[in-house]
Structure 1
């Protein structure tokens, strides 16, 4: 006969949520750092086609 599953403890639940939130915070920090480097012009490992974007904006006007 099938047995019901045991309830996950609150500590385990909190631990998993903390891990999930930590990963989200790290990704947010990386995205912010990448955005800052692109805006300041100090980016070395990220390709950002600025000339094409500027040409498209001028063509629309």
Structure 2
């Protein structure tokens, strides 16, 4: 059985990263430029992105 602290770290690690990712000013500007459908899709998938480039590739893929 895993120690409680380890489980807590895993949970917080998954939740904190998107907050840090999307707190970047350039990311905020990019997200504000999206239409509502694109923004909603990005927010649903935000846990999978590691950089702004990831988000841009995802949004561009929505239109292919």
Structure showing greater radius of gyration is 1
TM-score, normalized by the shorter chain, greater than 0.5: no
TM-score with structure 1 setting the length? 0.40
TM-score with structure 2 setting the length? 0.38
Greater relative contact order: 1 or 2 (C-alpha under 8 angstroms, separation 6 or more)? Answer: 2
